[in-house]
Structure 1
Amino acid sequence: MKYFIIVNGETCTLPARTLEMDERIDMIRGLDRMIKAGEITRREARQEQYSFVKDCIAEPMPPFEQMDMGDLELNVSEIIAAYQRPATQAKLEAALSMLKHIVSRPDVQKMLSKP
């Protein structure tokens, strides 16, 4: 499966969603909890995010100290969303299909047509 995001107007192909990538995504998602628990500093969390984005996209990035943290957070969110999009879309389509099946039943149609 192919995963893509757009960075600075350029389409970037992300690495495959391997078990290692899933583990990195879980770790990135847990950074806020780790900060709140005092396990890491915000700077360490941002450095992890920076490394994650840098490993995922081929686009050049500013040095860590010059990186806009808003852009960094946006990139992290977009990467994670790109990896989850196919599964989320499949679940949504399955739920819609089930709903269509239920709504098309004669007894449901009868209920829906009553004023």
Structure 2
Amino acid sequence: MSSQNDTGIPLVHDPDGKGYRFLTLESSTNSAILKSGSQSWGLRQKNTSNALILLKPTTTRASTTEMPETGLKAVATVHDTIELVPESSSAPAPVARGKWHEKFARGR
């Protein structure tokens, strides 16, 4: 049942200092290949304007006599992701197409 006193789910920004990063790939003619058995995937770094926010459940109490309140804690924000592209093991690495985000990533 809904009520006027319901304040929703509390969200707290509390970075944990671990510095989450999936993987950073340097631009080169050689690309990283992930292999498992007979399958191969090329790894490609993708930058996006839509960030991925890592959330962790949290419980807070204003005092020891109050009921705990369940909420969410934002521990990190990730802007770079890795894309897996199926490849044959003998295929040459793809040529960079000069996309603006690839040029920007080289200067970082």
Greater relative CO, 1 or 2 (CA 8 Å, sep 6+): 2
TM range (shorter): under 0.3
Q: Which has the higher strand share?
A: 2
TM-score (norm 2): 0.21
TM-score (norm 1): 0.20
Q: Which has the higher helix share?
A: 1
